[in-house]
Amino acid sequence: MKRLSSLGASFRQGQSAGTLFKHPVLLISGLLPGALFAEPEVTGRIALEPRATSSLEEDPLVVPVVADGAGKARIGRGLDNDIVLPFGSVSRYHAVVSVEGAEFLISDVGSTNGSFLNGKQLCAHERNALEDDAFLMLGDVEMTFMLARTFVRKLLMK
Protein backbone atom coordinates (compact mmCIF):
# COMPACT_ATOMS: atom_id res chain seq x y z
CA MET A 1 0.00 0.00 0.00
CA LYS A 2 1.63 3.22 -1.17
CA ARG A 3 0.86 6.76 -2.18
CA LEU A 4 0.40 7.33 -5.90
CA SER A 5 3.31 9.80 -6.08
CA SER A 6 5.85 7.31 -4.70
CA LEU A 7 4.63 4.56 -7.06
CA GLY A 8 4.87 6.89 -10.05
CA ALA A 9 8.49 7.73 -9.22
CA SER A 10 9.38 4.04 -8.78
CA PHE A 11 7.63 3.10 -12.02
CA ARG A 12 9.40 5.80 -14.04
CA GLN A 13 12.75 4.62 -12.61
CA GLY A 14 12.04 1.08 -13.82
CA GLN A 15 11.44 -0.42 -10.37
CA SER A 16 8.78 -3.10 -9.94
CA ALA A 17 5.68 -2.43 -7.89
CA GLY A 18 4.73 -6.11 -7.70
CA THR A 19 1.03 -6.95 -7.55
CA LEU A 20 -0.07 -3.36 -8.17
CA PHE A 21 0.49 -3.83 -11.90
CA LYS A 22 -1.28 -7.21 -12.06
CA HIS A 23 -4.51 -6.45 -10.19
CA PRO A 24 -7.11 -3.69 -10.22
CA VAL A 25 -6.67 -1.07 -7.52
CA LEU A 26 -8.70 1.22 -5.30
CA LEU A 27 -7.37 4.79 -5.14
CA ILE A 28 -8.56 6.11 -1.78
CA SER A 29 -8.87 9.89 -1.86
CA GLY A 30 -10.57 12.81 -0.16
CA LEU A 31 -10.27 14.03 3.40
CA LEU A 32 -10.61 11.24 5.93
CA PRO A 33 -11.08 12.41 9.52
CA GLY A 34 -8.57 10.81 11.84
CA ALA A 35 -6.82 8.82 9.13
CA LEU A 36 -3.20 8.81 8.16
CA PHE A 37 -2.21 5.57 6.57
CA ALA A 38 0.30 2.98 7.63
CA GLU A 39 0.57 -0.77 7.31
CA PRO A 40 -0.26 -2.40 10.65
CA GLU A 41 0.68 -5.99 11.40
CA VAL A 42 -2.25 -7.74 9.74
CA THR A 43 -0.85 -10.83 8.08
CA GLY A 44 -2.17 -11.44 4.59
CA ARG A 45 -4.54 -8.49 4.72
CA ILE A 46 -4.40 -4.87 3.61
CA ALA A 47 -5.31 -2.52 6.42
CA LEU A 48 -5.38 1.21 7.03
CA GLU A 49 -4.41 2.42 10.47
CA PRO A 50 -6.14 5.51 11.91
CA ARG A 51 -3.74 8.27 12.98
CA ALA A 52 -4.22 11.97 12.14
CA THR A 53 -6.32 13.79 9.54
CA SER A 54 -5.06 13.12 6.04
CA SER A 55 -5.93 14.81 2.75
CA LEU A 56 -5.45 12.39 -0.11
CA GLU A 57 -6.97 14.55 -2.84
CA GLU A 58 -3.69 15.18 -4.68
CA ASP A 59 -1.88 11.98 -3.69
CA PRO A 60 -4.32 9.10 -3.13
CA LEU A 61 -3.48 5.89 -1.34
CA VAL A 62 -3.22 2.88 -3.68
CA VAL A 63 -4.71 -0.43 -2.48
CA PRO A 64 -4.57 -3.52 -4.73
CA VAL A 65 -7.79 -5.53 -5.02
CA VAL A 66 -6.59 -9.13 -4.79
CA ALA A 67 -9.39 -11.68 -4.73
CA ASP A 68 -9.17 -14.79 -2.56
CA GLY A 69 -9.46 -18.35 -3.90
CA ALA A 70 -13.22 -17.91 -4.28
CA GLY A 71 -12.73 -14.79 -6.44
CA LYS A 72 -13.80 -12.31 -3.75
CA ALA A 73 -12.20 -9.44 -1.84
CA ARG A 74 -14.12 -8.46 1.32
CA ILE A 75 -13.99 -4.83 2.45
CA GLY A 76 -14.95 -3.53 5.89
CA ARG A 77 -13.89 -2.34 9.32
CA GLY A 78 -13.37 -5.86 10.75
CA LEU A 79 -9.80 -7.13 10.85
CA ASP A 80 -10.77 -10.36 9.08
CA ASN A 81 -11.62 -8.53 5.82
CA ASP A 82 -9.27 -8.59 2.84
CA ILE A 83 -9.23 -4.77 2.79
CA VAL A 84 -9.64 -3.20 6.24
CA LEU A 85 -11.00 0.37 6.47
CA PRO A 86 -11.13 1.24 10.20
CA PHE A 87 -13.51 4.20 10.05
CA GLY A 88 -16.76 4.67 11.94
CA SER A 89 -18.80 5.12 8.76
CA VAL A 90 -17.62 1.75 7.39
CA SER A 91 -19.44 -1.35 8.64
CA ARG A 92 -17.58 -4.34 10.05
CA TYR A 93 -18.49 -6.18 6.83
CA HIS A 94 -19.36 -3.52 4.29
CA ALA A 95 -18.90 -4.70 0.70
CA VAL A 96 -17.47 -7.44 -1.51
CA VAL A 97 -15.68 -7.08 -4.84
CA SER A 98 -15.92 -10.28 -6.84
CA VAL A 99 -14.47 -11.48 -10.12
CA GLU A 100 -16.50 -13.47 -12.62
CA GLY A 101 -14.55 -14.19 -15.78
CA ALA A 102 -13.26 -10.80 -16.93
CA GLU A 103 -15.95 -8.85 -15.05
CA PHE A 104 -15.66 -7.20 -11.64
CA LEU A 105 -18.74 -6.84 -9.46
CA ILE A 106 -19.42 -5.03 -6.19
CA SER A 107 -22.08 -5.84 -3.61
CA ASP A 108 -23.04 -4.06 -0.44
CA VAL A 109 -23.44 -6.79 2.19
CA GLY A 110 -26.05 -4.95 4.29
CA SER A 111 -23.89 -2.09 5.59
CA THR A 112 -25.32 0.55 7.92
CA ASN A 113 -24.21 3.66 5.98
CA GLY A 114 -24.47 2.24 2.48
CA SER A 115 -22.29 1.84 -0.56
CA PHE A 116 -22.47 4.13 -3.57
CA LEU A 117 -21.30 3.45 -7.13
CA ASN A 118 -20.95 6.57 -9.30
CA GLY A 119 -23.32 8.42 -6.95
CA LYS A 120 -26.05 5.75 -6.93
CA GLN A 121 -26.77 3.87 -3.70
CA LEU A 122 -26.41 0.11 -4.03
CA CYS A 123 -29.16 -2.19 -2.81
CA ALA A 124 -27.99 -4.68 -0.20
CA HIS A 125 -26.77 -8.02 -1.61
CA GLU A 126 -27.35 -6.92 -5.22
CA ARG A 127 -24.38 -7.44 -7.53
CA ASN A 128 -23.40 -4.43 -9.63
CA ALA A 129 -20.93 -4.25 -12.51
CA LEU A 130 -17.79 -2.39 -11.44
CA GLU A 131 -16.51 -0.51 -14.47
CA ASP A 132 -13.00 0.85 -14.91
CA ASP A 133 -12.48 4.27 -13.26
CA ALA A 134 -15.71 3.94 -11.22
CA PHE A 135 -16.21 6.24 -8.21
CA LEU A 136 -17.13 4.43 -4.98
CA MET A 137 -18.15 5.57 -1.51
CA LEU A 138 -18.27 3.10 1.36
CA GLY A 139 -19.77 5.09 4.20
CA ASP A 140 -17.79 8.36 4.03
CA VAL A 141 -14.68 6.81 2.44
CA GLU A 142 -14.20 7.89 -1.19
CA MET A 143 -12.29 5.77 -3.69
CA THR A 144 -11.88 5.05 -7.39
CA PHE A 145 -11.73 1.54 -8.82
CA MET A 146 -9.19 1.17 -11.65
CA LEU A 147 -8.14 -1.75 -13.77
CA ALA A 148 -4.38 -2.36 -13.84
CA ARG A 149 -3.94 -0.94 -17.36
CA THR A 150 -5.71 2.31 -16.42
CA PHE A 151 -3.66 2.58 -13.25
CA VAL A 152 -0.39 2.13 -15.17
CA ARG A 153 -1.52 4.77 -17.70
CA LYS A 154 -2.24 7.16 -14.82
CA LEU A 155 1.24 6.52 -13.38
CA LEU A 156 2.85 7.30 -16.72
CA MET A 157 0.98 10.61 -16.94
CA LYS A 158 2.18 11.77 -13.48
> Which of the pair, 42 or 6, is modelled with greater confidence?
6
Per residue in 56-71, pLDDT (tens digit) is: 455 566 777 877 778 8
pLDDT of residue 86: 83
Residue 93 confidence (pLDDT) above 70? yes
pLDDT of residue 116: 97
CA–CA dist 21, 23 (Å, integer): 6
Residue 43 confidence (pLDDT) above 70? no
**In which band, very low, low, confident or very high, does the pLDDT at 82 lie, cut at 50, 70 and 90?**
confident
pLDDT of residue 1: 43
Alpha carbon 78 to its chain centroid, in Å, reads 15
CA–CA dist 56, 60 (Å, integer): 5
Residue type, 73: A
The predicted model scores a pTM of 0.73
Q: Which of 75, 60, 84 is nearest to 142 (CA)?
A: 60
pLDDT of residue 7: 46
> Which of the pair, 141 or 129, is modelled with greater confidence?
129
DSSP 8-state assignment for residue 154: H
Residue 9 confidence (pLDDT) above 70? no
CB 118 within 8 A of CB 145: no
Residue 16 confidence (pLDDT) above 50? no
Per-residue pLDDT averaged across 91-120, rounded? Answer: 95
